[in-house]
Amino acid sequence: MTVIMSPVERLRQKLGIRDHLTKCALSEFVCTAFLMFVGFSINAQKVIARTPSYDMLGGNFAWGLALFFSVQMGFGIWSFRRSSKSFGVFHVLLLWHYWFGQGYTAAQFLGSFLGAAMAFTVYYDGINAMDGGIRMVYGVNATAGIFSTYPKDFMSVQGAIIDQISCTAVMVVCVLGRAQ
């Protein structure tokens, strides 16, 4: 019996990636780049608009949606991901083979840089208009908060460490819950 394939199916057969690790790493790269682009774009909008720190609900909700959509984008290829911090958890739980972990780490690293570069490119003019081309970590015209987190003055080092560990734990539990 002859199977008739559409042109799209024939193209998929010819150009499709067959190696599972390559598929997973490419998916991780794209999903991480998407997450970082959307997240950093949210941060850039808040920083450029000088949104008060007490008005964070919209940004936090948007980051949650970005995480949700990035997990859903790659879920058909591989079940869980989203943070280089979670790599250790998945490796300890024996949910990843060693080479998968290395491929994922490289893909996340490169995807994060691509997402950050895309967000910086999109908001370059706005960032320059805000800080006059002088990048600062702290102060009225600080723009470093677009791409990373910095503790407030009242936060101790131990509190910041506990904050990062607990937030990562919550994220890992949520992603593992979706994966299982």
CATH of the domain at 55: 1.20.1080.10
The chain-wide mean pLDDT, for the chain, equals: 80
Classified as helix, coil or strand, 27 is helix
The arithmetic mean of pLDDT across residues 34-44, rounded, is 93
Q: Is the pLDDT assigned to residue 94 strictly greater than 60?
A: no
| The model scores a pTM over 0.85 | no
Same domain for 123 and 99: yes
* Inside any domain, residue 127: yes
Sequence-distant (≥ 6) Cβ neighbours of residue 31 within 8 angstroms: 70, 71, 73, 74, 81, 82, 111
Q: Domain of residue 106: give its range.
A: 19-149
**How far is 80 from 108, CA to CA, in rounded Å?**
13
For residues 5 and 64, the model is more confident at 64
* Inside any domain, residue 9: no
**How far is 3 from 99, CA to CA, in rounded Å?**
37
For residues 30 and 23, the model is more confident at 30
For residues 180 and 145, the model is more confident at 145
pLDDT at 120: 94
